[in-house]
């Protein structure tokens, strides 16, 4: 019987890994000295192992190691020379800095940014950025969590992921981590944007000095008014009948900041009062832009919901309920690897022109991670590709005899 060809080629996982240039990973590892005193489990092997855990939704180190052992004859395709032990992965997650994976993510983002999907044709999203954070609960207080302790005195930890999302590409362009109980506002200082950008953020990011910096740098900022904020009304602009029908009820020129001290930061701004015509819910938006129509300001802020959808996608499709390490560095590594996996699948979905939902693609890749099949044709027509593979296998196994028996 001839040698079967259904183990030829590359497994789907390896085809996904081909989107990560090994030279780039080696360059990052060399720059950060990440492979110092490391003979076998180097940065690339570490990255492949973590991506296997992410795609396969492993919830423990044992699942990772036994899963790789089960594919003993195939892992050489992945660039792994030997199976990592649980202790090896644990040590690497503790010692190898998470900055390595951060640089790999941004290196891949720079490489594939022109190929990212642009399903949003509205020009408004071209220069729109959304800044917000999401909290991830931890089963122990590695990082101080927010909220009250339990009755027995125990409390869970929590990590906040502060994310700057480019609305057009639906991809993070800046990530910062903090304890769940940490104050959000200080992370707004780190946001750097090109002139002409529009940034939308929640009212928790109140930093008057940064508001003024954005104005100086010709960046439009939009947020919501906090009840505790002090302001003075400098001018009440007229609101026409059409604007009132759309939900706009006030348009004021204001000055944020109290007068208790000469050193207090003052912010010239504009406040838009808006009531949603459908729900009736009332909002007060604050911005430094005096040219845009009031309804445009409200619509910009509505698009902030996109980042909530992004957080939901990351948490639902990748294993961020359980972490493969009990230290801050391991948690950051796993989050960066989830973002790398998400970026790769977005690029692959765009390249294959697949019409499937993103969650379906994640599920198919997970189920067929070690299947030998062309990734592009598989994602275009999964059932047809599998049936064709089965028929091919039958044809190979059928070996007619020259003489009747």
Average pLDDT value for residue range 124-148 = 70
- pTM, rounded to two decimals: 0.84
With bands split at pLDDT 50, 70 and 90, how would you rate the model's confidence at 145? Answer: very low
pLDDT, residue 278, reads: 87
Q: What is the pLDDT of residues 160-176, one digit of tens each?
A: 899 999 998 888 999 99
SS3 for the chain is CCCCCCCCCCEHHHHHHCCCCHHHHHHHHHHCCCCCCCCCCCHHHHHHHHHHHHHCCCCCHHHHHHHHHHCCCCHHHHCCCCCCCHHHHHHHHHHCCCHHHHHHHHHHHHHHHHHCCCCCCCHHHCCEEEEEEEEEEECCCCCECCCCCCCCCCCCEEEEEEEEEECCCCEEEEEEEEECCCCCHHHHHHCCCCCCCEEEECCCCCCHHHHHHHHHCCCEEEEECCCCCCEEEEEECCCCHHHHHCCEEEEEEEEECCCCCCCCCCEEEEEEEEECCCCCCEEEEEECCCCCCHHHHHHHHHCCHHHHHHHHHHHHHCCCCCCCCCCHHHHHHHHHHHHHHHHHHHHHHHHHCCCCCHHHHHHHHHHCCCCECCHHHHHHCHHHHHHHHHHHHHHHHCCCCCCCC
pLDDT, residue 89, reads: 92
pLDDT, residue 252, reads: 95
With bands split at pLDDT 50, 70 and 90, how would you rate the model's confidence at 101? Answer: very high
Residue 300: pLDDT over 60 = yes
Q: Domain limits of the chain?
A: 12-102+326-396
């Amino acid at each position: 019987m001839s040698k079967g060809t259904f183990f030829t080629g590359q497994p789907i996982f390896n085809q996904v890994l081909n989107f990560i240039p090994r030279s780039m990973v080696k360059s990052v590892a060399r720059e950060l000295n990440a492979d110092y005193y490391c003979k076998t489990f180097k940065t690339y092997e570490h990255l492949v192992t973590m991506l296997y855990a992410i795609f396969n939704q492993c919830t423990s180190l044992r699942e990772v190691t036994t899963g790789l052992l089960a594919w003993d004859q195939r892992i050489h395709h992945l660039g792994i020379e030997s199976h990592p032990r649980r202790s090896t992965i644990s040590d690497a997650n503790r010692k190898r800095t998470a900055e390595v994976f951060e640089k790999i993510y941004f290196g891949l983002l720079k490489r594939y940014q022109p190929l990212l999907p642009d399903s949003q044709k509205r020009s408004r999203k071209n220069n729109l950025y959304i800044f917000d954070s999401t909290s991830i609960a931890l089963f122990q207080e590695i990082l101080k969590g927010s909220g009250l302790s339990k009755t027995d005195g125990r409390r869970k930890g929590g990590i906040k992921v502060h994310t700057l999302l480019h609305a057009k590409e639906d991809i993070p362009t800046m990530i910062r981590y903090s304890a769940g109980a940490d104050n959000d506002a200080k992370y707004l200082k780190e946001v750097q944007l090109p002139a002409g950008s529009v940034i939308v953020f929640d009212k928790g990011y109140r930093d008057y000095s940064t508001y003024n910096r954005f104005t100086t740098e010709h960046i439009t900022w939009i947020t919501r008014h906090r009840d505790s904020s002090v302001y003075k009304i400098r001018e009440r602009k007229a609101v026409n009948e059409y604007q009132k029908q759309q939900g706009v009820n006030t348009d004021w020129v204001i000055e944020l900041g109290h007068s208790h001290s000469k050193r207090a930061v003052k912010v010239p701004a504009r406040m838009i009062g808006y009531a949603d015509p459908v729900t009736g819910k009332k909002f007060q938006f604050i911005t430094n832009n005096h040219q845009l129509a009031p309804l445009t300001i409200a619509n910009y802020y509505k698009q902030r919901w996109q980042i909530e959808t992004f957080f939901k996608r990351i948490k639902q499709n990748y294993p961020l309920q359980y972490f493969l390490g009990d230290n801050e560095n391991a948690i950051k590594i796993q989050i960066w690897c989830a973002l790398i996996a998400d970026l790769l699948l977005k690029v692959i979905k765009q390249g294959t022109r697949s019409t499937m939902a993103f969650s379906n693609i994640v599920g198919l890749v997970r189920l067929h991670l070690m299947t030998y099949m062309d990734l592009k044709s598989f994602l275009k027509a999964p059932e047809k590709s599998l049936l064709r593979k089965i028929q091919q296998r039958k044809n190979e196994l059928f070996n007619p005899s020259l003489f009747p028996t």
